[in-house]
Structures are given as structure tokens and as C-alpha cells.
Amino acid sequence: MKSAPSAVISALQTSRELSFADCFTITLADGTIARYTNAQYTVSIPQIGNPALLFIAGDILVDGLKLKQTCGVDIDEQSIDISFKPTSTIAGLPWPIAVREGRFDGATIDRARAVLTAPGGTVIGGAVVVVFHGLVATVDNIGRLSCKMTVKSMLNKLAVDMPRDIWQPCCLNTLYDGLCTMVKSANGASGTVGAIPTLGFIPWSGSAADTYDQGTITFESGANVGVSRTVQTSTTSGLTLSRPLDYMPVAGDSFVVYKGCDKTMTTCQSRFSNLANFRGFPFVPPPELAMY
């Protein structure tokens, strides 16, 4: 059963007319929080000692995330449609680019309901009632003005293979995570696009052979601002991308590129000097060589 502030319960029991507003909170993996409402007016939730939480109206519309209550531990999975304007942004990027570039990986979405004294009036109880809280599982399609996502309940976190550690030659860590311990900002370099770039190759005088293989490049200016790509190979002349850019870069566009890792013991030692945190098992023989 969903809990609600006592003031909301009292209002529902005694008031003849109330107003409701659906409020959505999107929290990206990088900590960015965006709040929206499907109502025609902005919903304000006062906070003691802090600025009020504002759920912005007229920017995006969310269709989905219905309330569902069942017995058991079945994972609730829902499909939602999000419509946005050409000018709508999140995390400093236009919505289509943010969705396409994976900014919603690991994001959570809440749907809550605010009970107001009147349309655009005061929120009763000074809080919203959370109806659904879940994780973005997949992005099913993305267009110029809308996208469709699959959202699963937090029970999805229980759907992991056990044991989590597998004996394998490659490192079990994810580069720059807490177990890897490498700091991403300390392994990046800023640069500018050189002469005669293409959609798949970025000339750069600061490039070095193999250093940025399987790393990432993010553009900070130009037509591709905010766009990231994986670096397939790096040479002394520039960076070859694993997937072409959508827009042609031009000389002078700025970017930041980070070192990548193929999860081998050799790369861990030569590129990062981080062998102490290597969690692979390269000397385990393959099954066909195991002795019985």
C-alpha cells in the first residue's frame, strides 16, 4: 500500500473538489536530476532550508508508469512514451542526443502524484505520493520529438547471476569504477580537431599510438557538441572512431579523449600501471587443456 501525508488523506476524505498533477523525476547516472509534470502549470514543493522542488510544465510529456500492485517478486516492466520539444534539454544536451548517446543508462524514473487545493495552487501536505520508482532498462526507439523506453521496477537489481565473479582471462573490473580505482579525469586529454577530418577519423597532433584504443572521445564544441564515440584505434596522426559521427567535424572543434582498456594484464600494466587492482586470471588454462 502506498503511504500518503496525513493532510492528503484528510483532504481526500473531506474536500469536495481537489486538483491532481502527475509529477516525474528523472535521475541520470551522473547525478543530473530533472523534474517534469504533465499538468498545465508548474508544481512547486517547498523544502525547509532549501529551494523548492519545481516540476516544470510544458517541456516534456510522459505517458506510462502506471500503478501496479501484486503479490510475489515478479519484476514490473512497463513501456513509456516521452514527447519533447526541439528546444528541450537534459544534462545540457538536446533530448534526442542525450538519449542516443546513452545518458539514460542506469537512470531512474519516478512517477508521483501531487494533490493540490486548486489548479496551480498549493500542494497539500507539502509532498507528493510516489506511485512508481524504476530503472530505465532499454531505449526502444528515438525520434526527433519522442522516444520510447522500457522501465523496470527496482526488483530488476536482484536478477544477477551468482556468483558474480567468474574465472576468466580478462579483468572483471569496469574501467574507472571503484574496484579499478583509476580516475577518469586523470586519464583524459583535451585537444582540437586537426586539418581534413572525416566522420570517422579525427586528426590530432596530440595523439599517440595505442594510447586511446577503446577509449572514448566527447566533443565540447562544434556541431557534435556533447556527442561521444568509442575510439577504435589511435595513432600518431589521429583517432579512428568505431562509429561515424552524425555531423562533419571541422578543424578547431574541441574535444576531450580518455584512455581505454582491453582488460588484459599487459594493458593494465603498460597503460595504467595498475596491476595491483587487476582482477583477471590469464594463467587459467582453457578447458581443452585441462587435465582430468
> In sequence order, what DSSP letters do the residues of 1-54 get, joined into one string?
-----HHHHHHHHH-S--EEEEEEEEE-TTS-EEEEESSSS-EEEEETTEEEEE
Give the rounded percent of residues in the chain with a pLDDT score beyond 70: 93
**Structural domain containing residue 53:** 7-158
Tens digits of per-residue pLDDT, 94-120? 999 899 888 898 899 988 888 888 888
Domain boundary among 158, 175, 199: 158
Q: Are residues 108 and 227 in the same domain?
A: no
Asked whether the beta carbons of 124 and 115 are under 8 A apart, the reply is: yes
Structural domain includes residue 283: no
- pLDDT score for 189: 95
Structural domain includes residue 290: no
Rounded mean pLDDT of 217-233?
93
Q: Are residues 145 and 201 in the same domain?
A: no
Q: Is the confidence at residue 2, as pLDDT, over 70? A: no
Q: Are residues 141 and 243 in the same domain?
A: no
Give the rounded percent of residues in the chain with a pLDDT score beyond 90: 52
- pLDDT score for 148: 93
Tens digits of per-residue pLDDT, 133-191? 889 988 988 988 999 999 888 777 777 777 778 888 899 999 999 999 999 999 999 99
Q: How many domains does the chain have?
A: 2
Q: Is the confidence at residue 68, as pLDDT, over 70? A: no
Q: Are residues 12 and 121 in the same domain?
A: yes
Q: Are residues 51 and 113 in the same domain?
A: yes
Structural domain includes residue 284: no
Task: Say if strands 33-37 and 50-57 run parallel, antiparallel, or are unpaired.
Answer: parallel
Structural domain includes residue 198: yes
Q: Are residues 19 and 137 in the same domain?
A: yes
**Residue, of 153 and 242, whose pLDDT is higher:** 242
Structural domain includes residue 291: no
Q: Are residues 150 and 212 in the same domain?
A: no
Structural domain includes residue 200: yes
Q: Are residues 27 and 73 in the same domain?
A: yes
Rounded mean pLDDT of 258-272?
94
Q: Are residues 154 and 188 in the same domain?
A: no
Q: Which three cell numbers stand for residue 261?
A: 582498456
Q: Are residues 222 and 133 in the same domain?
A: no
Structural domain includes residue 263: yes
Domain boundary among 142, 158, 174: 158
- What distance in Å separates the CA atoms of residue 195 and residue 183, rounded to the nearest whole number? 31
- pLDDT score for 75: 66
Structural domain includes residue 22: yes
Rounded mean pLDDT of 190-196?
95
Q: Are residues 213 and 117 in the same domain?
A: no
